[in-house]
């Protein structure tokens, strides 16, 4: 197979999150924790120490009563591609190759057994999507029964983050191979948060596939490193050039503006 053909076949899994629909209920966070064996402590109110692969932020428009407004913004790992394939901020600094960019799927992996906890990646990630295990996880007696065998349990001293539920991709792939198929249907591989969102605010799929919802909604512009053509869509810190694969939708301008560090007087860059 030639290089060009290989390139055509590559997937670029990504997400579109509709902030007009997101209710901030937190179901995505819990679905993620349950799916990925994320640990919990007695006090989780220090959010710098709280491991949340998927975290729902609350944005405010900064105005006084009664013009105040809030909006919730769920933040998984953005699975940045960078300016050229695989040049994600975290991947390029990892000395142990514990985190890597898959050109097949566009997913940024995290291999726990390779990570030795230097936390360069955490410093490099502009989205606070990475979390460090300061302690060994402890499940109260009996509760380890709920641990899923699909995702290994992490231990103290390593970094972890959202994997776009990669084990679900593997399971779906296995199933497809068993049925003598090589391609996955759109619905066959969905992340736990996407599946859980009761408001239907999260959409997941292959950004390279024009038939997939994510592609249709975000309309990524290949000439501009995937910048969305949909005027209501934006990406977080677009101007850093991280080329993330998570797109957000909002009909409110102040929300779209909150996605990057705009000056007060600055207008959002129209494409």
Partner 1 sequence: MKIDRRSFLSLGVGAGAGIALSPLPWKLTDDSSIWTQMWPWTPVPRDGAVNYVNTASTICSGGCGLSVRKIDDRAVKVEGLKGYPGSNGNACIHCMAGIQMLYSPNAVKSPMKRTGKRGEGKWQPISWDEAISETAKKLGELRESGKASTLACILNSDYGTIPALFKQFLNAFGSPNFMRTPSYQDAYEMTLALMHQTDSMAVFDAENADFVLSFGSGIIDGWGSSVRMFKANSSWKEKNVKLVQIEPRLSNTAAKSDQWLPVNPGTELILALGIAHVIITESLYNKDFVEKYAEGFEDWTDNEGNKQKGFKNFVLEGYSPSYAARVTGIEANTIVKLAKDFAGASAPLALCGRGQGTTPGSIHEFMAVHALNALVGNINKKGGIWAMPKPDYIKWEQAKLDDTAREGLKVPRADGAGTEKFPHAKYLLTRLPEVINSAKESPIQALFVSGANPAYTLPDTKAVAKAFASIPFIVSFTSHMDETAEMADIILPNHGHFERYEDIPAPPGYNKPVVGLARPVISPQHNTRHVGDTLIAIAGKLGGTIAESFPWKSYEECLEKTMGENWTSIQESGVITNPDYEAPGWDTAFETSSKKFAFIPGNHNPGNNSLQIPVIEGNDNYRLTLIPYDSMRLAAGPVGNTPFVTKTVSEKVLKGNDICIEINPKTAEKYGLKQGQYAILTTPKGKAKVKTELSPGIMPDIIAMPRGLGHTGIDEYLAGKGININELIGPVEDPASGLDAAWGIKADLVKA
Positions that interact with partner 1 (CB under 8 A): 18, 20-21, 23-27, 29-31, 33-35, 37, 40, 42-47, 50, 52, 56, 58, 60, 63-66, 68-72, 95-96, 98, 112-117, 136-137, 139-149, 152-153, 155, 157-158, 195-201
Minimum Å distance from CB 154 to partner 1? 8
Minimum Å distance from CB 95 to partner 1? 8
E strand map for 76-137: 131-132
Minimum Å distance from CB 201 to partner 1? 7
234 bridge partner residues: 248
Q: What number of other Cβ atoms are within 10 A of residue 175's Cβ?
A: 13
Which CB, 23 or 269, lies closer to partner 1? 23
CB distance 144 to 48 below 8 Å:
no
Report the alpha-carbon distance of residue 134 to residue 48 in Å, rounded: 11
Which CB, 25 or 184, lies closer to partner 1? 25
Minimum Å distance from CB 131 to partner 1? 12
**Which residues neighbour 230 within 8 Å (Cβ) at sequence distance 6 or greater?**
217, 218, 219, 247, 249
Minimum Å distance from CB 251 to partner 1? 9
Report the SS3 class of residue 113.
helix
The upper half-sphere exposure of residue 254, i.e. CA atoms within 13 Å in the direction of its Cβ, equals 11
Q: Which helix (H) or strand (E) holds 31?
A: helix 27-35
**Which residues neighbour 1 within 8 Å (Cβ) at sequence distance 6 or greater?**
none
Minimum Å distance from CB 3 to partner 1? 29
CB burial class (10 A; 0-12, 13-18, 19+) of residue 49? Answer: middle
Which CB, 29 or 233, lies closer to partner 1? 29
Which CB, 70 or 123, lies closer to partner 1? 70
Which CB, 44 or 221, lies closer to partner 1? 44
Minimum Å distance from CB 25 to partner 1? 4
Minimum Å distance from CB 211 to partner 1? 21
Which CB, 157 or 231, lies closer to partner 1? 157
CB distance 233 to 214 below 8 Å:
no
Scanning the structure block, which residue is given the tokens 């999507």? 129
Which CB, 5 or 46, lies closer to partner 1? 46
Handedness of CA 237, 222, 13, 188 (dihedral sign): positive
Which CB, 35 or 81, lies closer to partner 1? 35
């Amino acid at each position: 197979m030639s290089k060009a053909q290989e390139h055509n076949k590559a997937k670029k899994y990504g997400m579109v999150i509709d902030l007009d629909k997101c209710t901030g209920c937190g179901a995505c966070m819990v679905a993620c924790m349950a799916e990925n064996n994320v640990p919990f402590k007695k006090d989780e109110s220090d959010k710098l120490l709280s491991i949340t692969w998927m975290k729902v932020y609350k944005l405010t428009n900064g105005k006084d009563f009664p013009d105040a407004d809030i909006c919730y913004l769920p933040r998984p790992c953005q699975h940045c591609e960078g300016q050229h394939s695989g040049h994600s901020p975290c991947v390029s600094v990892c000395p142990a190759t514990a985190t890597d960019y898959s050109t097949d799927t566009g997913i940024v992996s995290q291999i726990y057994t390779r990570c030795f906890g230097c936390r360069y990646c955490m410093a490099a990630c502009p989205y606070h999507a990475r979390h460090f295990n300061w302690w060994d996880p402890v499940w109260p007696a009996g509760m380890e029964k709920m641990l899923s065998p699909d995702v290994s349990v992490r231990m103290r001293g390593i970094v972890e983050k959202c994997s776009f539920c990669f084990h679900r991709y593997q399971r779906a792939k296995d199933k497809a191979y068993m049925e003598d198929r090589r391609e996955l249907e759109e619905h066959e591989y969905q992340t736990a948060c996407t599946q859980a969102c009761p408001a239907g605010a999260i959409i997941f799929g292959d950004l390279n596939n024009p038939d997939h919802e994510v592609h249709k909604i975000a309309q990524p512009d290949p000439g501009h490193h995937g910048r969305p053509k949909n005027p209501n869509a934006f990406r977080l810190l677009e101007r850093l050039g991280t080329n993330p694969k998570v797109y957000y939708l909002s009909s409110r301008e102040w929300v779209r503006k909150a996605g990057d560090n705009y000056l007060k007087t600055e207008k959002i860059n129209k494409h």
